[in-house]
Amino acid sequence: MHRAWVQVDTKKLENNYKNLVKYLPDFCDCICIVKCNGYGHDAIQEALVLQNCGAKFFGVAALQEAVSLRKAGIVGDILILGHTVKEEMALLAEYNLIQTVGDIDYGYALLEHAKVHNHVYRIHYKIDTGMHRLGITDHVSIFALRDLANEEHLTLEGCFSHFAVADSFAHEDINFTYQQKALFDAWVKEAKAVGMDVGKLHLSASAAIVNYPDIVYDYCRPGILLLGFDSGDMKYPYVREQVLSLYAQVVKIDVLPSGQSLGYGRTFVSDCDKKIATVSIGYGDGIPRNYKDGEVLIRGVRCPIVGRISMDQMCVDVSHLDTVELFDVVTILNEEITIMEMASKANTISNEIVTKLTNRLIRIYK
Ligand SMILES: Cc1ncc(COP(=O)(O)O)c(C=O)c1O
């Protein structure tokens, strides 16, 4: 046993992927998004499981993430969704990676680098259709983009955009999503009309994949869908399960006498004698310090977290348990206490909970 660990259920991960593939039309493939260390699940192990199930295309945010996947034996395509700095552009060729171009000047910088080093860089254009975060805006000349794409030192293999509110069923959000799709389609049409070979197209991440089955292109980009949790409102037409569990241990059991306080800030004062278990996990492992009314499972029973969560430990009221022993396993997250529950109680989204699980936690795939 470990002090605290993340466990990923490989079977559930495989099923989430296979059920998604079954649900998608045959012509639509997945770019499996495993950025930010696979949303805290361990990108390499996640990608290797998915590769074994047939996944051939992966997406990450940063060059270093892409390189580590290659070094670990990922042989399929890898798209970098963020930008790669000039000093590291040569690695795009060395590791056969695909770079997103979300700004024409960035495209020129990439081209110049490719020419100087006699490389050919594989690229996807990212088109801004309403996120206004990254992406080529409609002010940019379609002819300039076509000419850049035609340069022999660049290969345009795809074009994509990203939805802002596909995880909401509010009337105006549905309208906005279809407006983004319409802008994307219009841009693609214009690009084709001026003779640009746009390559493969992709638009939907998890929420759009399940909420807008009518919006389908050559690829989709699932991240959380593979991991089986939600962020925002999502309609599921097929089974998917949370693959992650999080565990720690009871490292001390003691009685807190009535009237005594517990932990930093003395925020909890017992109103009667309480049995308290100290648990070997804290905010230094990624438990949100503001996990309000948070609970854990010990011997299958929910127990409330009491007092402030500290960096390496937290305390749990176990007065209602018939038995609790030193080194009992404490379940912080599983299919009962879900990532969504923790996110909601900590006033954040599931993505933030999992990406903040720190490296101190051992990751176990089984
Ligand atoms: C461009 C892009 N595509 C796909 C994804 C995957 O999103 P999700 O995990 O909601 O499927 C992300 C995640 O933020 C993203 O930024």
Q: How far is the CA of 174 from the centre of ligand 1 (A)?
A: 18
Cα 188 to averaged position of ligand 1 atoms, centre (Å)? 21
- In this predicted structure, what is the pLDDT of residue 41? 98
Task: Report angle CA 118, 122, 126 to the nearest 5 degrees.
Answer: 130
Give the integer Cα–Cα distance in Å for 39 and 356.
Answer: 8
Q: Which residue, 16, 24, 21, is CA-closest to 56?
A: 21
* For residue 166, pLDDT beyond 90: yes
Evaluate the CA torsion angle 232, 233, 237, 240 in order and state its sign: positive
Is the pLDDT at 1 greater than 90? The verdict is no
Q: Does the C-beta of 135 come closer than 6 Å to ligand 1?
A: no
pTM of the entire structure? 0.97
**Angstrom distances, CA of residue 163 to CA of 17, 130, 183, 213, 339:** 22, 8, 11, 14, 23
Question: What is the maximal distance between C-alpha atoms in the chain?
Answer: 78
pLDDT computed for residue 232 by the predictor = 87
What's the Cα-to-Cα distance from 117 to each of 70, 89, 93, 110, 120, rounded to whole Å? 22, 10, 10, 11, 9
- What are phi and psi for residue 276, nearest 5 degrees? -120, 130
Report CA(351)–ligand 1 centroid distance (Å).
10
Domains and CATH numbers, the chain: 31-227 (3.20.20.10), 244-365 (2.40.37.10)
- Given ligand 1 and candidates 16, 20, 24, 33, which is best to mutate, with the most ligand atoms within 8 Å of its CB? 33
Average pLDDT for residues 314-325, to the nearest whole number? 98
The model's pLDDT over 111-146, given as tens digits with 9 standing for 90+, comes to: 999 999 999 999 999 999 999 999 999 999 999 999
Please give the distance of CA 292 from its chain centroid, rounded to a whole number.
23
**Which atom of ligand 1 lies at the shortest distance from residue 224's CA?**
9
Pocket test for ligand 1, best of 31, 58, 79, 81 (most atoms within 8 A of CB): 81
The answer to whether 49 and 41 have CB atoms below 8 angstroms apart is no
54-59 own/partner pairs: CB under 8 Å, 24+ apart = 54/21, 55/17, 55/30, 56/29, 57/29, 57/30, 57/31, 57/32, 57/219, 58/31, 58/32, 58/33, 58/34, 59/31, 59/32, 59/33, 59/34, 59/35, 59/221, 59/223
Question: Taking the chain, what is the end-to-end CA distance rounded to the nearest angstrom?
Answer: 14
Is 264 among the residues known to form the active site? yes
pLDDT digits (tens, 9 = 90+) for 216-256: 999 999 999 999 999 889 998 888 999 999 999 999 999 99
Q: Mark out the alpha helices in the chain (DSSP H runs).
A: 10-23, 35-39, 43-52, 63-71, 90-94, 104-116, 142-150, 171-193, 206-211, 224-227, 339-345, 350-355
Concatenating the DSSP letter of every residue in 261-290 gives EESGGG-EE-SS-EEEEEES--GGGT--TT
**Atom nearest to 209 CA in ligand 1:** 11
**Active-site hit among 12, 17, 35, 212:** 35
DSSP 52: H
Q: Does residue 366 carry a catalytic annotation?
A: no
pLDDT computed for residue 119 by the predictor: 98
